[in-house]
Structure 1
Amino acid sequence: MTFGERLKLLREENSLTQSELAKKLNISRQSVSNYENGSRFPNDVQLLVKISALFCVSLDYLIGLSNIRLSLPNQDMEKNPQFMENNESPYSTKRNVLEELFLEIDNMPLEDIKKVIKFIKVINGKL
């Protein structure tokens, strides 16, 4: 799936028109249209970051390097000592583990994914 296809999918999933999205991104509706139809690609990295944040997806997903939508919040761990331990944050470790988990799940059949979800709910006492 291309960047344009993903942008359109995300826009439609969020019930936004091209004009509404353009307004949120401070760009023209024509730019949104050009991105979606694949005739142009954003040349501003900050715009890609803004789109990623708006739709809560990773940049890798947005530009087609991954099928995993996961986007974890960016936090400045250096300024938050409660998360620091041995110069590595548990947040980073958790992110790495989650990315690995999602990579594994991404290749599984739907029925197996449902079993994994049920197993997680059992572990968390929700079933």
Structure 2
Amino acid sequence: MCIHKKNLHNLQDFIDEIHEMCYYQDSEVTGMLANRLRALRRAKGLTQQELAGALEISASAVGMYEQGRREPDNETLTKFCRFFGVPSDYLLLDGAESPAGPPELGEFLEDFRRRLLAQEGLMFNGVPLTEEEITQVVSAIEVGASVAVNKLGRKSGGKDV
């Protein structure tokens, strides 16, 4: 499959978002703060650099927080909570629900479909894809994402994921 670098980056971002969504409520996930900060940032469509600028902290600090290699002090934690509109419990405690609730697979897929259809020059084997072919690609991804979510549900003992 031949995809422009710009499109490949967007596809990888989408795959990363689906992966995070599948593990969103998994209480066994280590680095709750790190995972939730990364998920919140990506949900807003921000880079680490953009988030750092908005909060007046360094991009490397954001990266360290998201990797779980550093924990924010109380002032920085408060900035994150205010910026993302979430309580500190959500960032710090296992099982705490986001005020917005868990992301829905359908929302992610619909957003991905819109972004993919808006891309120019998406190709397969050097041939530009039509809107119908792009829809078929998205449908295949929807099936794969559903299989992944179902498999995760079986692993978690039937808990909602």
Q: TM-score, normalised by structure 2?
A: 0.41
Structure 2: where are the runs of 5+ without partners? Answer: 1-28, 101-158
Runs of 4+ in 1 over 6 A off after TM superposition: none
> Structure 1 residue 24 and structure 2 residue 54: aligned?
yes
| Percent sequence identity over aligned pairs | 38
Q: TM-score, normalised by structure 1?
A: 0.52
Residues 1:46 and 1:65: Cα distance change in structure 2 (over 3 Å)? farther
Report the Cα distance in structure 1 between the residues aligned to 2:70 and 2:78, rounded to whole angstroms. Answer: 17
Alignment of 1:69-108 (within 5 A): 69-70=98-99
Structure 1: where are the runs of 5+ without partners? Answer: 72-108, 111-127
Q: Is the 8 A contact 1:48 1:59 kept in 2?
A: yes
Segment of structure 1 superposing worse, 26-35 or 56-65: 56-65
Question: What's the counterpart of residue 60 of structure 1?
Answer: 89
Task: Count how many residue pairs are aligned between Structure 1 and Structure 2.
Answer: 72
> Structure 1 residue 46 and structure 2 residue 89: aligned?
no
One of 15, 37, 57 as aligned partner of 2:67:
37
Report the Cα distance in structure 2 between the residues aligned to 1:40 and 1:26, rounded to whole angstroms. Answer: 17
Deviations 1:46-68 (A, max 9, x none): 21111011111110001134421
Higher relative contact order (CA 8 A, sep 6+): 2
Report the Cα distance in structure 2 between the residues aligned to 1:6 and 1:59, rounded to whole angstroms. Answer: 11
Report the Cα distance in structure 2 between the residues aligned to 1:70 and 1:52, rounded to whole angstroms. Answer: 12
